[in-house]
Amino acid sequence: MSGDHTSSAVSARVRSVEAFLESRGLLDDGEIDRRIDEFLAGGSPVNGARIAARAWVDPGFAERLLADANSAIRELGLTMAGGLQEQRLKVVANTVDEHNVVVCTLCSCYPIALLGPSPGWYKSEAYRSRVVRDPRGVLREFGVELPDRTRISVWDASAESRYMVVPRRPAGTEDLPEEQLAGLVTRKGLIGTAVV
Q: What is the pLDDT of residues 76-123, one digit of tens each?
A: 999 998 656 788 999 999 999 999 999 999 888 989 889 988 899 999
Active site residue 118: no
Active site residue 104: yes
What's the pLDDT score for residue 13? 80
Domain ranges of the chain: 9-40, 43-191
- State the sign of the Cα–Cα–Cα–Cα dihedral 120, 184, 87, 17: negative
Q: What is the pLDDT of residues 24-73, one digit of tens each?
A: 888 788 777 776 666 555 678 999 999 999 999 999 999 999 999 999 99
Active-site annotation holder among 8, 23, 71, 107: 107
Active-site annotation holder among 44, 108, 153, 158: 108
Least confident of 9-18, 83-92, 139-148, 179-188: 9-18
116: left (phi over 0), alpha (psi -120 to 50) or beta: left
Q: Give this prediction's pTM.
A: 0.79
DSSP secondary structure letters along 12-61: HHHHHHHHHHHHTTSS-TTHHHHHHHHHHHH--HHHHHHHHHHHHH-HHH
First to last CA, the chain: 40
Q: 43-191: CATH homologous superfamily?
A: Nitrile hydratase alpha /Thiocyanate hydrolase gamma (3.90.330.10)
Residue 113 CB contacts under 8 Å (≥ 6 apart), including other chains: 39, 42, 43, 47, 78, 79, 80, 82
The mean per-residue pLDDT over the stretch 124-140 comes to 96
What's the pLDDT score for residue 84? 60
